[in-house]
Chain A
Amino acid sequence: MRRHKFLGGVLIACWIPTASWAVAENFIRLGGANMEDGFGTSMTRVEVAGTGQSILLARFLNGASCGLFHITIPDNYDAGRPEMDLILWGYADQTGGTIEFTTKMGCVGVGENYHTVSLSSGGSVLTWVGPAIINRVEYIAGRTDTVLTETGCTATEHAMVEICRTAGGTNTGTFYLIGAEFQFPCGASDSCNTP
């Protein structure tokens, strides 16, 4: 018991500076430059040059367009909890209104046909309130709880994640996707804590 109390103190003392190691393999982060052509109308990878920086981004014009990320389901993914949180970073060149995104996902593993894999919907619509300042980088709706109900995904499988800007939003500007983060549930074991 004494050891537990001691550990509790250690946990409190260490939690903030060490938070990142605890989920090392559950995050996949990709820059917008990694986005590939999607279905139908596609986003476009563009180089954006500012006065102090230049970067390759995925550009979504006003209207419907899609892009695709290819990722690998983490080794410690818990197939019993088919969910994935998605965070998008980006900015818009017009203020106000809303920008809406939908997501789809499909997984394909060894022994399955890669060419005919289908993507299923089920992710909630991400609605981002248009920015008050143009070109200011923001999260899209903060950390969303987008739950992708694709149930066929297992650890180490190849996954395609489609992200579409819909025509439903009211922001009239262009949206630039800087990057995306995919967060998966940990497995039942402590493997999530592997640094």
Chain B
Amino acid sequence: MRCQRFLQYAVALLLGWSAPAGGASLYLYPLAAVPSGVTGETAPTITQETGTGAPTGHKYYVVNFANTVTSCAYLSTVLPKEYVTSEAIEPTITWKPSASGGGQAAVVSVQLGCFSPGSTVNYLTGTLNGSPTTGEDYAGNAHVLTERSPALTVTSTGCDPGDIAVLRFCRIGGDANDLFTGVYQLIRVRLRY
């Protein structure tokens, strides 16, 4: 390890290059999503869709967030050893409107929390860091991917390498600004750290 660190510094000195701080990403996909069981929230469904591109019939999974209700899902991953303690983690949501529905916006809420193995925090009752963010505006074109990082940076206070990071992602379908009348389908979540 010492040798590795030394080599990195040595190469940086020689080339005049400095490694960017962080900059790596973790990706989470629909099959890793767990629908919320919180009272008052609608659990999104995870379904398999059949695409129409060539070759015909390719399959993919989506997490369906309904209109007019609050529906949430949880995704979790382990922060890698390269993660720097308490460094901000920025989520980016990739999703698309389903084939039906109109309107130009869906409102989202994103929260993040970390849980350390061996800590005294109860995994089931621990709170998530950061605050919900609303008002994200997505284009409403059927099946066309949209991607947006929440305007409010999700902080990662208390996160350490090796922690289990839990992301809570909701569509606030009943919000006055949520104008899309159909289902939004989650394709991917990116966690940049």
With A11-B7, A114-B145 in contact, do A25 and B24 touch (Cβ < 8 Å)? yes
Residue A186 at the B interface, CB < 8 A? no
- Within the assembled complex, what's the spacing in Å between the Cα atoms of A195 and B52? 39
The interface on chain B, measured as residues whose beta carbon lies within 8 A of the other chain's beta carbons, has a size of: 45
Q: In angstroms, how far is the closest chain B Cβ from the Cβ of A102?
A: 11
With A108-B145, A115-B51 in contact, do A17 and B3 touch (Cβ < 8 Å)? yes
With A18-B3, A158-B94 in contact, do A40 and B57 touch (Cβ < 8 Å)? yes
With A10-B6, A17-B4, A114-B96 in contact, do A39 and B14 touch (Cβ < 8 Å)? no
With A10-B7, A14-B4, A162-B58 in contact, do A111 and B145 touch (Cβ < 8 Å)? yes
> Which of A40, A104, A117 has most chain B Cβ within 10 Å?
A117
- Within the assembled complex, what's the spacing in Å between the Cα atoms of A25 and B55? 30
Task: Scan A19-44; emit 1 where CB is below 8 A from any B CB, else 0.
Answer: 00100110000000010111110100
With A24-B82, A25-B24 in contact, do A111 and B144 touch (Cβ < 8 Å)? yes
Residue A146 at the B interface, CB < 8 A? no
With A72-B188, A72-B190 in contact, do A158 and B145 touch (Cβ < 8 Å)? yes
Q: Are A119 and B20 in contact (CB under 8 A)?
A: no
Which of the four size classes fits the interface of chain A? 35 or more
Which of B4, B48, B60 contacts A70, CB < 8 Å?
Answer: B60
**Residue of A whose beta carbon sits closest to that of B55:** A39
Task: Scan B1-39; emit 1 where CB is below 8 A from any A CB, else 0.
Answer: 001101110110111010110011101010100000000
Residue B125 at the A interface, CB < 8 A? no
List A contacts of B61 (CB < 8 A): 36
B84-113 with Cβ < 8 A to chain A:
94, 96, 99
Residue A106 at the B interface, CB < 8 A? yes
- Within the assembled complex, what's the spacing in Å between the Cα atoms of A11 and B54? 47
Q: Are B54 and A195 in contact (CB under 8 A)?
A: no
A120-157 with Cβ < 8 A to chain B:
156
Task: Scan B142-164; emit 1 where CB is below 8 A from any A CB, else 0.
Answer: 11111100000000000000000
Q: Are B23 and A191 in contact (CB under 8 A)?
A: yes
Other A-B pairs, 11, CB within 8 Å; known A39-B55, A162-B58: A14-B4, A25-B24, A39-B57, A39-B58, A72-B188, A75-B23, A115-B143, A116-B52, A117-B51, A158-B188, A195-B82
Which chain B residues have a beta carbon within 8 Å of chain A's beta carbons? 3-4, 6-8, 10-11, 13-15, 17, 19-20, 23-25, 27, 29, 31, 48-49, 51-61, 82, 94, 96, 99, 142-147, 187-188, 190
A-B pairs, 6 with minimum CB distance = A115-B143, A118-B53, A18-B4, A118-B54, A37-B59, A14-B3
**What are 19 contact pairs spanning A and B, CB under 8 A?**
A17-B3, A24-B82, A34-B31, A38-B58, A39-B57, A72-B25, A104-B55, A109-B145, A110-B147, A111-B145, A114-B187, A115-B53, A115-B142, A116-B51, A116-B53, A117-B51, A158-B145, A195-B19, A195-B82
Which chain A residues have a beta carbon within 8 Å of chain B's beta carbons? 3-4, 7, 10-11, 13-14, 17-18, 21, 24-25, 34, 36-40, 42, 68, 70-72, 75, 104, 106, 108-119, 156, 158, 160, 162, 190-191, 193-195
